[in-house]
Structure 1
Amino acid sequence: MIANTEQKNLIKTARITGLWYLMMAITGILGFMVFHSQIFVSGNPEQTLTNLIELESTARIRLLLEFGIVISQALTAVWFFKLFKDNYEWEAWTLGIWGMVNALVIMISAISIASAIGIANSDISAMEDKVLLIQVFQHIISNAWGIGGLFFGLWLFPMGYIVIKSKRMPIWLGRVIVLGGIGYVLSTLIHYAGIDFSFNEYLTLPATIGEFWMIGYLLIFGIRPSYK
């Protein structure tokens, strides 16, 4: 009876974790992949400045979605820790801490987006000064997400390790997640080493597959009973 109650509580925790993870995915796709390019034009701070002024409402939606990513990433990390801490405390702490680092990295991007909106709509009269500041913030946003790839990858290692070791989720799910973590770290290192590798963007594909698989498994199945 006690075991059944504990399992039901774990499944509930797993599904809440999946909901936060899904929210992170949704806000990430909308914010970074849909709205971002509507405002921030790579290599063109002049057009970006124009967009920030003329499409201020869209820019603020982009900012709010960044807030959503930060909040959902932090809560996903906390709930993963809650899900795994009883049997894999060290790994759960690692997963939780590295997940929180992800949230902090994205927060740097959010601060820069908020600053860019503020500068664009400020009383600064010299357009050249505005353009220069916008360019700086664009670089910070881009590099926060770019260098953030290190920890976007690292937090997948303990996640995948726990899945493989516990066998409470499909073992291949854990392996794909670990492979995704390796891909993220390698992709980031290759990019910032200045190496021209045409397939670099595909290195993070296993992470995308693994994370959506994890979201689906958490929401549908939760977590298997322990066989120990």
Structure 2
Amino acid sequence: MATLQRKARMTGLSYLGLAIAGGAGFLAVRPMLFVAGDPQATLANVAGHETLARAGVALELLVVLTQALAAAGFYRLFRAQAPVAAAGIAAFGLVNSTVVLGSAALLATAADTGDAATVQLLYLVSGHLWTAGGIFFGLWLIPMGQAVLSTGWMPRPLGWLLIAGGAGYVLSAFLPEAGFLVVPASIGEFWMVGYLLVRGVRPQKLTPSASSAALAGPSGSSSSVAHQM
């Protein structure tokens, strides 16, 4: 039981890191550098604020790392009770991590380029990669919600909110003007992060097989929690 709660909280920490890095990089730093329709202004921002441009790259790499850790964490947390959903979370999360890695490589190239048209193109392609990655980010919320519903370890409304939010995230990639579609996803994600960090999983909802999985050693036989830690 203690091991399962530890997995939940480590996953919550990774998810929190993902939210902070993504918000700081894509929503804060990028708008300070990229000016749509004005390559010269974008170049001037990147060249004149080199430290900020490098910070943007570092934040995107942090998104890659925390997304991968969160995907692995959710897989470890849910694989015993919801193996299909756990695999879906891991797969979609890792694909999104790979997409953002491509974006980070483009921004790193832009920081070393002195041509305005090239810098503008690299930032444009990076932005489109984030849009494509948003599809997979939405898709990872759907099996996450399914895992919540099937295990009963978190409130059922959270599960349905994650599923609805994931669908909204996918639709928003094709309807960028409909920003309200991502609101359920944002609420569900912060709820999930908070629940993982504060509660972990609900002990009263642990099934005997889940409790056994939390106490099982690497060979599958019963062993102490300390052995896994």
With the shorter chain as reference, the TM-score category is: 0.7 to 0.9
CA contact (8 A) 2:33 2:53 kept: yes
Q: Partners in 1 of 2:35 and 2:64 — Cα distance?
A: 23
Specify the alignment match of 2:11 in structure 1.
Answer: 17
Specify the alignment match of 1:176 in structure 2.
Answer: 161
Specify the alignment match of 1:222 in structure 2.
Answer: 200
Give the secondary-structure state (helix, strand or coil) at the position aligned to 1:159.
helix
Aligned mate of 2:183, from 193, 201, 205: 205
Aligned mate of 1:72, from 41, 63, 66: 66
Q: Partners in 2 of 1:134 and 1:62 — Cα distance?
A: 14
Give the secondary-structure state (helix, strand or coil) at the position aligned to 1:35.
helix
TM-score w.r.t. structure 2 length? 0.87
Aligned mate of 1:27, from 14, 21, 27: 21
Give the secondary-structure state (helix, strand or coil) at the position aligned to 2:190.
helix
Aligned mate of 1:114, from 104, 108, 113: 108
Give the secondary-structure state (helix, strand or coil) at the position aligned to 1:119.
coil
Specify the alignment match of 1:4 in structure 2.
Answer: none
Q: Partners in 2 of 1:220 and 1:57 — Cα distance?
A: 36
Q: Partners in 2 of 1:205 and 1:99 — Cα distance?
A: 19
Specify the alignment match of 1:138 in structure 2.
Answer: 123
Specify the alignment match of 2:141 in structure 1.
Answer: 156
Q: Partners in 1 of 2:171 and 2:46 — Cα distance?
A: 34
Specify the alignment match of 1:48 in structure 2.
Answer: 42
Specify the alignment match of 1:99 in structure 2.
Answer: 93
TM-score w.r.t. structure 1 length? 0.87
Partner letter of residue 32 of structure 1? F
- Structure 1 stretches of 4+ with a deviation exceeding 6 A read none
Q: Partners in 2 of 1:14 and 1:114 — Cα distance?
A: 34
Q: Partners in 2 of 1:222 and 1:64 — Cα distance?
A: 30
CA contact (8 A) 2:82 2:150 kept: no
Instruction: After superposition, give the CA deviation of every residue in 1:134-184 in whole Å (9 maximum; x if it has no partner).
Output: 121022111011122211110011000010111110000011110100101
Aligned mate of 1:83, from 67, 77, 80: 77
CA contact (8 A) 2:68 2:94 kept: yes
Specify the alignment match of 1:166 in structure 2.
Answer: 151
Determine what percentage of the aligned residue pairs are the same residue.
40
CA-based RMSD? 1.1
